[in-house]
């Protein structure tokens, strides 16, 4: 079933996004979600934290370790980390490169400068989705054995520091939506 992209939850697979009230609020079985452009969610995250939103975009990565997070591409702005509301839920790999509609609660995860310093000291390989250290010990060990661990870790950490410098903030903002539903368009 192609539309059923959240395993262990057939209910999510049959949600019909519809009943648009004006162009600002969508009704679904979860209630009213404010329709928001994904770019606005990133650029105005403070405004949307804790809010129930509906947005859309293209999935560019499904976590290969545990499938518990996906990355929504937002052109010219970055990406949004999508995690399931139910911690036992996983995403299907066939979501990759698909246009989707997401309904959920916005939150911001901040990675502070001191945390980045700690990750640098530990030669952490960072997840491309949430910028936290990779949780796949086999992958990390393969990088260590082939001699790329230190170079890749430094590249990841330098990327975080460059982002902090560009934004003028002493933290990295990871915009996240805790998804009640993710549907292929």
Q: Is the pLDDT of residue 30 over 60?
A: no
pLDDT digits (tens, 9 = 90+) for 127-158: 989 999 999 999 999 999 999 999 999 999 99
Answer with the residue of higher pLDDT: 58 or 30. 58
Q: Is the pLDDT of residue 31 over 50?
A: yes
Q: pTM for the whole thing?
A: 0.80
Percent of the chain with pLDDT over 90: 78
| Distances from the Cα of 92 to the Cα of 37, 150, 152, 178, angstroms | 24, 31, 27, 16
Domains, the chain, in order of start with CATH, read: 10-109+173-184 (2.40.50.200), 112-167 (no CATH)
- CA 24 to CA 46: how far, in whole Å? 19
């Amino acid at each position: 079933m192609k539309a059923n992209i959240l395993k262990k939850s057939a209910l999510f697979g049959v949600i019909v996004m519809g009943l648009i009230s004006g162009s600002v609020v969508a009704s679904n079985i979860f209630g009213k979600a404010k329709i928001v452009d994904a770019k606005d969610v990133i650029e105005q995250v403070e405004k949307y934290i804790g809010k129930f939103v509906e947005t859309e975009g293209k999935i560019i990565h499904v976590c290969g370790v545990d499938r518990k997070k996906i990355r929504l591409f937002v052109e010219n702005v970055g990406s949004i980390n999508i995690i399931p509301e139910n911690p036992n839920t996983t995403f299907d790999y066939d979501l990759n490169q698909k246009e989707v509609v997401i309904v959920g609660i916005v939150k911001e995860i901040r990675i502070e400068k001191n945390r980045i310093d700690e990750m640098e000291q530990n030669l952490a390989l960072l997840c491309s989705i949430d910028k936290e250290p990779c949780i796949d010990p086999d992958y990390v060990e393969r990088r260590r054995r082939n001699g790329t661990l230190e170079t890749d870790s430094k590249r990841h950490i330098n990327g975080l520091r460059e982002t902090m410098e560009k934004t003028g903030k002493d933290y990295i903002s990871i915009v996240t939506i805790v998804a009640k539903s993710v549907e292929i368009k």
